[in-house]
Amino acid sequence: MFDFFRKYNKIVMIFLFLLIIPSFVLFGVERYQGSGRDEKVARIEGHDITKPEWDQQHRVETDRIRQQSPNVDPTLLDSDALRYATLERMVRDRVLAAAAAKANMTVSEDRLSRMFAQDTGLAAFRTPDGKFDRDAFQRVTGRTPEQYEASVRSDMATQQVLLGVSGTAFTPPALAATTINAFYDSREIQVARFSPESFASKVTVSDADIETYYKDHTAQFQAPEQASIEYLVLDLEAAKKNVVVNEADLKTYYEQNASRFGTKEERRASHILITAPASMSAADREKAKAKAEQLLADVKKAPNTFADLARKNSQDDLTAKNGGQLDMGPKGSLIAKQLDDAVFALKKGEIGNLVESEFGFHIVQLNEIKPAQVPPFEQVRATIENDMRSQQATQEFAKAAEAFTDAVYQSPESLKPAADKLKLTIKTADNVARLPAPGATGPLASRNFLSALFAADSLDRKQNTEAIEVGPSQLASGRVTKYAPAHPVPLADVKDKIRAQLVTERAAVLAKTEGEAKLAAWTAKADGATFGAPVTVSRRDAQSQPLPVIDAALRADGSKLPAIVGVDLGAQGYSVVRVTKIVPRTPPPPELAKQEQAQVGQSVSAAEDAAYYNMLKDRFKAEILVPKPAETLPTAAGR
């Protein structure tokens, strides 16, 4: 059936056009909008956030992250947890905006004007005559100045909502001290550890035990579904290869940009400076000029004495000792423009007329000329071709994207026609799963691409996916060549793993039983208790002790020492801990204590902000309508 549509798609399109257009007239376009457009993902005071709005905002945020951190793992940006975090921020922004509107919070024009005047970023969009370059601003930011102003005004208004809470947060010194001491205070402890490894030899596991465990925990021993795929990627680099550049254009580009490919002309000169700063009186300035004119007359009579006269008379301390010699450099490298212009107007060996600059009066002699060097066309041809291809790649990508989208659709059984048409390489990958693997890159890091591959139609028919955007200026299409559904791993393959797991679990139970018995005995009578050497531990320095041991030691009743407590470590066994001493923190220097109290104050302020925001969420009936993903925010991992 689908093959019929592909074969006669133009006829079908005309038929559908004649069928659908009258319906638009009768029922309106809205009836034909996709369900995704109307899908509601959150609601604030009766106003909905739709899935397209959510998707768009997440694209904006991920694009910004990519620009700031080009090497970021794409799987981090495309995770369900990060997408949900974007939605939570959208809800937060709208709740605060609703609260600001309800309280009639506004930003005055004066305050806004002052902020804009102090914004160094906006200064870059002012022309030399002080006017604001509206077009440049819109090109760079993607927003009109009016949209930017409205956004800033909204942000400033919503900031005032929480400022009334966070700005009045108060942290008494006693509260700060209690909080800080909980982190820094130490305990001297002794630990008796009952490790499962010590009890493993006492555990017996039968084949029947293994088989029963296997049957009762089938879900633990499932091989995940996997696919072998082939795919194509169209990006700017691929589009650049299809740009056709003719020889005439290359040579024209070479001629117009010759200076880029070689070295500019450089010159070395010497000068004698008689200083005459702007602060000098008119009379003194005339005296300085007269002295310079006399030196110029002397040096023109005897050019070979230039260096000696410079050493004796030049008031440029840096060059006088070298006979007035300046560094070799291209035009524009000298500190005074007037001096620079004079040097590049002279012939080699020539002494010019008196030059006046903001530093005073210069007598200049040109010593050496290093001509510009431009490599021959053939030597830089490859560089020019690459430059021209890069300049045209964006435009070519737009054309190629349309051809790519059409080609993978018109030939659904193979990617070869699209590859041949656009000169792309078909890539392959094995053991591909529905979710991106840690460290995956390109299309294999895109959830949208993987979802399309594992869609029912793709798996059943082994046909091409549609062209899917997997990154900025990057499209991909793939097809499944081999698919293995999820299936139970045979018992024989996991028998040893189950045996080891059962031994560990049962040994941990024996360790806990022994530990609890010792705890009871030593609590009743401390004589004969065997503990390890004393160690001093805190939340900052655990001394290699498990966190539950640290928590138990710090929670023990410090008024009744020594205190003995038991700690269940689960699969790691059991510990009996004896707390022998409280080790208070050495008082910090006053400056550090002040910083710590400020940090506690910031934490209290953040907690009050969060509590107030939660109250606002209830007040404005804010709710997220999609389930929160079970996964946490991902971390980068190597493959």
The pLDDT of residue 74: 66
| Closest CA relative to residue 121, chosen from 148, 94, 102, 93 | 148
Q: Is 283 inside any structural domain?
A: yes
Q: What is the dihedral of CA 613, 614, 615, 619, to 10 degrees?
A: 100
Per-residue pLDDT at 129 exceeds 50? yes
Same domain flag for 42 and 173: yes
The pLDDT of residue 202: 94
Report the b/e string of 467-503 with b at 16+ CB within 10 A: bbebbeebbbbbbbeebeeeeeeeeeebeeebbebbb
Q: pLDDT digit string (tens) for 441-456?
A: 889 999 889 999 999 8
| Closest CA relative to residue 505, chosen from 186, 199, 170, 211 | 199
Q: Cα 633 to chain center, whole Å?
A: 14
The pLDDT of residue 186: 92
The pLDDT of residue 197: 94
CA distance linking residue 441 with residue 446, whole number of Å: 8
Which of 485, 506, 534 is where one domain is finished?
A: 485
Q: Do 99 and 620 contact (CB within 8 A), yes or no?
A: yes
Cross-strand bridge partners of residue 40: 50
Same domain flag for 351 and 469: no
Residues contacting 315, CB < 8 A, separation 6+: 273, 274, 275, 360
Q: Do 553 and 490 contact (CB within 8 A), yes or no?
A: no
Residue 591, SS3?
helix
Same domain flag for 120 and 177: yes
Same domain flag for 72 and 156: yes
Q: Is 384 inside any structural domain?
A: no
Which of 320, 336, 370 is where one domain is finished?
A: 370
Q: pLDDT digit string (tens) for 8-18?
A: 444 444 444 44
Per-residue pLDDT at 130 exceeds 80? no
Q: How many domains does the chain have?
A: 5
The pLDDT of residue 335: 84
Question: Which pair of tokens denotes residue 312?
Answer: 């004796």
Characterise 379 by phi-psi region: left (phi > 0), alpha (psi -120 to 50), beta (else).
Answer: alpha
240-254, 307-321, 430-444: segment of lowest average pLDDT = 240-254
Same domain flag for 414 and 499: no
Question: Which pair of tokens denotes residue 223?
Answer: 């091989």
Where residue 50 falls among pLDDT bands split at 50, 70, 90? very high
The pLDDT of residue 489: 92
Q: Do 339 and 321 contact (CB within 8 A), yes or no?
A: no
Where residue 3 falls among pLDDT bands split at 50, 70, 90? very low
Share of the chain above pLDDT 70, in %: 91
Per-residue pLDDT at 634 exceeds 70? no
SS3 content of the chain, % helix, strand, coil (to 5): 55, 15, 30
Which of 320, 338, 370 is where one domain is finished?
A: 370
Q: pLDDT digit string (tens) for 606-618?
A: 888 888 889 999 9
Q: pLDDT digit string (tens) for 54-97?
A: 988 888 888 878 777 777 766 677 778 888 999 999 999 899 88
What is the chain's mean pLDDT, rounded? 85
13-27, 90-104, 595-609, 615-629: segment of lowest average pLDDT = 13-27
Same domain flag for 164 and 85: yes
Per-residue pLDDT at 313 exceeds 60? yes
Please spell the DSSP secondary structure of 384-403, one letter per residue.
HHHHHHHHHHHHHHHHHHHH
Same domain flag for 54 and 163: yes
Where residue 404 falls among pLDDT bands split at 50, 70, 90? very high
CA distance linking residue 364 with residue 473, whole number of Å: 55
Nearest 5°: phi and psi at 205?
-120, 120
The pLDDT of residue 545: 94
The pLDDT of residue 580: 94
CATH number of residue 157's parent domain: 1.10.4030.10
Same domain flag for 170 and 47: yes
Same domain flag for 166 and 38: yes
The pLDDT of residue 4: 42
319-328, 392-401, 439-448: segment of lowest average pLDDT = 392-401
Where residue 246 falls among pLDDT bands split at 50, 70, 90? confident
Q: pLDDT digit string (tens) for 148-168?
A: 777 777 777 777 877 777 777
- Helix boundaries (H) for 28-79: 35-38, 51-68, 74-77
CA distance linking residue 35 with residue 32, whole number of Å: 9
Which is higher by pLDDT, 604 or 189? 189
The pLDDT of residue 631: 57
Same domain flag for 159 and 40: yes
CATH number of residue 341's parent domain: 3.10.50.40
Per-residue pLDDT at 48 exceeds 80? yes
Same domain flag for 270 and 365: yes
CA distances to 294, 300, 336, 343, 371 from 348, rounded to whole Å, are 23, 14, 20, 10, 12
81-90, 128-137, 586-595: segment of lowest average pLDDT = 128-137
Rounded mean pLDDT, 616-639: 72
Q: Please, what is the end-to-end C-alpha distance for the chain in angstroms?
A: 42
Q: Is 385 inside any structural domain?
A: no
Q: What is the side-by-side strand order in the sheet with 186-194? A: 535-537, 186-194, 574-583, 563-568
Nearest 5°: phi and psi at 274?
-110, 110
Share of the chain above pLDDT 90, in %: 48
The pLDDT of residue 24: 40
Rounded mean pLDDT, 581-609: 86
Q: Do 637 and 438 contact (CB within 8 A), yes or no?
A: yes
Which is higher by pLDDT, 3 or 326? 326
Same domain flag for 50 and 168: yes
Q: pLDDT digit string (tens) for 510-528?
A: 999 999 999 999 998 888 8
Q: pLDDT digit string (tens) for 560-579?
A: 899 999 999 999 999 999 99
Q: Do 191 and 531 contact (CB within 8 A), yes or no?
A: yes
Domain span at residue 11? 1-32
The pLDDT of residue 73: 67
The pLDDT of residue 387: 77
Q: Is 248 inside any structural domain?
A: no
